[in-house]
Structure formats: C-alpha cells, structure tokens
Structure 1
C-alpha cells in the first residue's frame, strides 16, 4: 500500500467543501486577472486605482478599478490557501460569504444614486451589488451545507487544527 509523505495511508478524495472552496477561489483569481485584460474589461484606458471615477467595466457590466481587481486576486489567493483544509474551506466560504453580504449592504447603503460618490471607493455599481448578494448567499450556503461528515452522527472537525 502506498504511503503519503507523512507515512500515513494515502488520502482519499477531497471533501466537497474543499473542492467548492478551491473552485470559488480559482474563479476569484480568474476574475482578478481578467479585470486587467483590455477587451474583456471595457473602458480599460479609463481605469483608475480606486474610486467611483473608474470607467472600466469587466465584461462591460461590472465596474472595476485596480484596487477592485487586486482585492479579487488577494481573496482568491487566500481561498486557495484556506482550501487546503476542511476547516479553512468552511472559513473561506462561510466567512467570505458573510463579507460579501456586508459588501452588498454597503453597496445598498450608498445607494444607486451615490454610485458616483467619494464613499464608493472600491468602486461598485448596481450589477456589482446584485452579484455580491448572490455570492454572499451562495458562498455562505456552500460553507454551511457542504460540511465534511455532516449528518453522519460523527462530530464535526474542530476549526483550524485539522488537515
């Protein structure tokens, strides 16, 4: 029987929560990169570092800036690191979902009439707000529902100390 690098039995397939976290993280990385690609991002020449004045739109719909794209890249990298464990995957999906719901509330609070306000520093537009709502609920649901061993009668993993 083959052994893993720690001398133990080989690992089985990754739990669904880890696969979901890795997939979501990879999508964030892809979106972060595509935000810097002219053509995929319309108005690329009008992109600013931050703020509501950025005229760039990813796929012609979602307002982006350099800061916005960098945040997507960092979020994706964090997700890939956290997806290495079940607890980290839950943290990324559940915590990330909560972050995106807060971001949606922020976008809702500044309102569509305030899209061109200095408080809109990321920047966000109406399409971003709806996407953040969907991401928030989707990530939160995956983090909660794709629990490893959930429903088997066994105790759930303890956070952050399991591989």
Structure 2
C-alpha cells in the first residue's frame, strides 16, 4: 500500500511517478506564467478576467483569460507540491487527468460564444484537454506499477512475494 512518505529516504522526488507529476506540474506553472506575457500571448490587450469575450491566445492558438492562467498556475503549484509523495503524485496525475477529461467534455457541450464558456475555451483547448487528460491518467496508472504489472510501493524495488 502506498504511503505519504517520500519514496526514497532523503529524496523528494524519488520515483518515476513523482518525477512525472513534478514535470507536469512544472509545465502547468510555466504555461500559467506564459499566459501573462504579451507577445507569447497574442491579443493580450483583449484579455478579460473570465468569459467568452477574451480574445487572448497563448502561442496564438489556445484561448486564455486571467482566470484560465490562474487555474494553470494553481494546477502547477498543486502538481509540484503533490509530487513530493508517491500517493500524492498518483492522485495528482489520475485526478488531474479526470478533471481535464471532464473539461474536454464540457468544452464539447457548450456554445463557445455563450456565457457558459467562462474559462474561456476554443477547439484547440478542447483537443489539448483530451490529450492532457488521457496522458495524465496513463502516466499515473502506468508509473504506479513496475515492469511486471505489480503496483509498486514507495521504497520497494521488487514486487511482493506471491
């Protein structure tokens, strides 16, 4: 059974699962910061706090708002913090992946020109959310198992005896 202790004595990010959660969290943190940088975010002067009328595009592709960027920052901080433990890293990757799959479905169901699009989202965001959700769940599930398919326990290097 996984514990909340770091997986390797003295190491904050000892397992591949923890390293993956740390990397994903760092990317989200970076994306949140980049969303506030004019030039990297086109239409920066049209950015609103929230709502479908924000025309700002991160990398000229992904629609963002101040709220959207703040969510990326918070998600990144959460990933970095949760990566300190094996169980936290798994929860972050799998739980975060589920959140992104739900956001993908939400983006498909709403009218992008309505007030329901408060994040805001566009088609590129929707597809990215699908890839992120599936990728995070896959990382969380696959990296919490060793190469024999047995779920690993922090600190254990071999599967338990049968």
Normalised by the shorter chain, which TM-score bucket? 0.7 to 0.9
The 3 A distance-change label for structure 1 pair 152 and 125 is closer
Q: Does 2:129 match 1:132? A: yes
The correspondence of residues 57-76 of structure 1 with structure 2, limited to 5 A, is: 57-76=57-76
Q: CA deviation at 1:14?
A: 1.3
Whether the aligned pair in 1 keeps the contact of 2:17 and 2:144 (CA below 8 Å) is yes
1:122 corresponds to which residue?
A: 119
1:4 corresponds to which residue?
A: none
Calculate the TM-score normalised by the size of structure 1.
Answer: 0.84
2:51 corresponds to which residue?
A: 51
Take 2:22 and 2:13, find their aligned partners in 1: how far apart are those partners?
14
Q: Deviating runs (4+, > 6 A) in structure 1?
A: none
Take 2:151 and 2:68, find their aligned partners in 1: how far apart are those partners?
41
Take 2:95 and 2:82, find their aligned partners in 1: how far apart are those partners?
11
Calculate the TM-score normalised by the size of structure 2.
Answer: 0.84
Take 2:10 and 2:49, find their aligned partners in 1: how far apart are those partners?
46
Whether the aligned pair in 2 keeps the contact of 1:22 and 1:80 (CA below 8 Å) is yes
1:64-106 Cα offsets, whole Å, 9 max, x none, are 0000000000000011110000100000000000000000000
2:103 corresponds to which residue?
A: 103
2:89 corresponds to which residue?
A: 89
Q: CA deviation at 1:52?
A: 0.2
Take 1:119 and 1:12, find their aligned partners in 2: how far apart are those partners?
40
The 3 A distance-change label for structure 1 pair 22 and 153 is closer
The secondary structure found in structure 2 opposite 1:24 is: helix
Q: What CA RMSD, in Å, does the superposition of the two structures yield over aligned residues?
A: 2.1
Q: How many residues are aligned here?
A: 147
Take 2:22 and 2:69, find their aligned partners in 1: how far apart are those partners?
19
Question: 5+ unaligned residues in a row in structure 1: which ranges?
Answer: 1-7, 158-163
Whether the aligned pair in 2 keeps the contact of 1:17 and 1:148 (CA below 8 Å) is no
Whether the aligned pair in 2 keeps the contact of 1:83 and 1:89 (CA below 8 Å) is yes
Take 1:120 and 1:67, find their aligned partners in 2: how far apart are those partners?
12
The 3 A distance-change label for structure 1 pair 86 and 117 is same
